[in-house]
């Protein structure tokens, strides 16, 4: 591993530990990547526990998702590739699994977005400088067919202006990204916080109805 690759791997290992400590990486769930200077992607291998990553659990794929070092990349590599292809400003992508997001997205059966409105933390998104706004997180159905999931997402993401750096796969998990791994991690924390708030409010509304 080059010194830079080691640095990237150590950064993803540390991020995985923090995400797992928040309960957002259960049972090997989630995957993480960083775009490298040559356009290739450093990504977690498939099936690794993201709270217990080692340097051997980070590998390289091409921009198209082909393995460059003989390891097996994340089953969701194509979604990382889609994000990097659509957003030239994306430098790191993080995918998490949380209880709140999972149940909220399942409660919104048939809906193609998760509406988030009035929250201070919405200011984590680019171009938003007030809580007095509404963000609609694209919500697509889950599938084990990653090209099909990518096909659902591509038109939704390319239609956005400005591009919202997050989406949700129903009953599955959150994808968010940023120019750096640090920015992507802030967005994961904000999005998971917002999804928890939305789910708690949904429950309260049900209880008081």
**Helix spans in the chain (H):** 3-21, 77-86, 99-107, 146-158, 181-208
Closest CA to 43 of 20, 76, 18: 76
Smallest gap from Cβ 53 to ligand L4RZE5RM, in A, equals 11
User: Which of ligand L4RZE5RM, Zn ion, none does residue 46 bind (CB under 5 to 8 Å by kind)?
Assistant: ligand L4RZE5RM
- Can you tell me whether residue 83 is helix, strand or coil? helix
* 29 contributes a contact to ligand L4RZE5RM by CB under 6 A: yes
* 33 contributes a contact to ligand L4RZE5RM by CB under 6 A: no
Please identify, among the stretches 124-132, 145-153, 168-176, 195-203, the one whose residues bind Zn ion according to the rule CB under 5 A. 168-176
Give whole-number Cα distances, 62 to 38, 42, 67, 119, in Å.
Answer: 9, 9, 7, 38
Smallest gap from Cβ 52 to Zn ion, in A, equals 17
Kindly compute the dihedral angle of the four CA atoms of residues 28, 188, 82, 6, in this order, to the nearest 10 degrees.
-70
* 173 contributes a contact to Zn ion by CB under 5 A: yes
Closest CA to 152 of 139, 161, 162: 139
Rounded Cα distance between 179 and 81, Å, is 15
**70 to 89: interface string for ligand L4RZE5RM, x by CB under 6 A:** ----xxx-------------
Rounded Cα distance between 17 and 175, Å, is 17
Between 28 and 196, CB nearer to ligand L4RZE5RM: 28
* 73 contributes a contact to Zn ion by CB under 5 A: no
Between 122 and 192, CB nearer to Zn ion: 192
Q: Please check if 95 is assigned to a binding site.
A: yes
Q: Please check if 172 is assigned to a binding site.
A: no
Q: Which residues are at the interface with ligand L4RZE5RM (CB under 6 A)? A: 27-31, 44, 46-47, 74-76, 95
């Amino acid at each position: 591993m080059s010194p830079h690759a080691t640095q990237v791997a150590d950064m993803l290992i540390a991020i995985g530990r923090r995400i797992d400590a928040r309960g957002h990486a259960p049972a090997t769930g989630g995957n993480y990547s960083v775009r490298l200077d040559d356009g290739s992607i450093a990504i977690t291998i498939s099936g690794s526990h993201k709270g217990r990553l080692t340097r051997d659990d980070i590998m390289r794929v091409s921009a198209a998702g082909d393995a460059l070092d003989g390891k097996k990349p994340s089953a969701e590599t194509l979604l990382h590739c889609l994000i990097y292809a659509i957003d030239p400003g994306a430098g790191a992508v993080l995918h998490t699994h949380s209880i709140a997001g999972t149940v909220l997205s399942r409660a919104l059966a048939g809906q193609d977005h998760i509406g988030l409105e009035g929250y201070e933390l919405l200011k984590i998104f680019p171009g938003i400088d007030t809580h007095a706004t509404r963000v609609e997180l694209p919500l697509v159905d889950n599938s084990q067919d990653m090209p099909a999931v990518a096909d659902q997402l591509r038109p939704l993401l390319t239609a956005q202006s400005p591009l919202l750096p997050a989406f949700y796969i129903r009953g599955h998990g959150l994808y968010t990204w940023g120019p750096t791994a640090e920015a992507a991690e802030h967005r994961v924390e904000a999005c998971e916080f917002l999804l928890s708030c939305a789910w708690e409010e949904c429950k309260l509304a049900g209880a008081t109805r």
